[in-house]
Amino acid sequence: MNNKSITEYFDLSGKVAIVTGGSRGLGLAMSGAFAAVGANVVIASRKLENCETVAAQIKESTGQDCLGVAYHAGEWDANERLLETTLSRFGRVDVLVNNAGMSPLYENLSSVTEALYDKVLAVNLRGPFRLSALVGAHMAATEGGSIINVSSVAAVRPTPTELPYGMAKSGLNALTLGLANAYGPKVRVNCIMPGPFLTDISKAWDLEAFAKNARNNIPLARGGEPDEVIGAALYFATAASSYTTGAVLKIDGGSVYQPA
């Protein structure tokens, strides 16, 4: 029988985690959680000021070293710069969370422009592919690690209002399986597939209509709170999931098994 304590299974002391889109929403919740269990965290997102502010707040509350880095997932070369910056500061990467994403509104499918389509696919799929390829190769050549993709239930139940986004997230689910095969056994690659979460993006929703729909179509009858992603993130990031790779875990209150 393993003599590890329960807390040791979820310990990230001495580890380094990169969280893209880490300055708000689910990324912010995961960044804070990783630092709380001992990781140094790189918070990467488009707006440097926001990243640096969050990094300072997490450092103050946890005592862990945190670094804010400007990063645009849709820019191919930004992925190499992010890895180089992280290695220059910390010398290692143990956890990567591909959380950065976007789903812009459009009037109808025929109104989707080439530029919008390309941008959605670049941020949600091309960026995670490139960053994972680079970080995965580094992890496989060193001490190993964990890559966590953040998908969406739109990957398996896409609606007309978010179809390019759903297509990209479906690709991210496939990427998870492919990377698990490519970089095992030293690197584990898994995916969190969230449903509707009440992050800052929900401020643009008709919350009254959402609440009514949730009561009718979501078994847990509500949207998720950002900190409800923490359990899954810690599981995949730590030794608790040492025999788990290529998994896609939905966190959606049960919504994908209900009618739209």
Residues with catalytic roles: 165
Average pLDDT over residues 209-238: 91
Average pLDDT over residues 68-97: 98
Residue 103 inside a domain? The answer is yes
Least confident of 11-20, 87-96, 154-163, 181-190: 154-163
Please report which confidence band the pLDDT of residue 211 belongs to, taking 50, 70 and 90 as the band edges.
Answer: confident
Per residue in 149-190, pLDDT tens?
Answer: 999 999 999 999 999 999 999 999 999 999 999 999 999 999
pLDDT for res 99:
97
Residue 18 inside a domain? The answer is yes
Confidence (pTM):
0.94
Average pLDDT over residues 114-122: 97
> To the nearest whole percent, how much of the chain has pLDDT over 90?
83
Residue 2 inside a domain? The answer is no
pLDDT for res 6:
87
Residue 258 inside a domain? The answer is no
Residue 142 inside a domain? The answer is yes
Q: Containing domain of residue 212, as a range? A: 9-252
Per residue in 237-257, pLDDT tens?
Answer: 999 999 999 999 999 999 886
Residue 3 inside a domain? The answer is no
Given the structure tokens 């939905």, which residue do they identify? 250
pLDDT for res 255:
86
- pLDDT at residue 1 above 70? no
Q: Read off the CATH number of the domain in which 116 is found.
A: 3.40.50.720
Question: In the chain, how many domains are there?
Answer: 1
pLDDT for res 203:
67
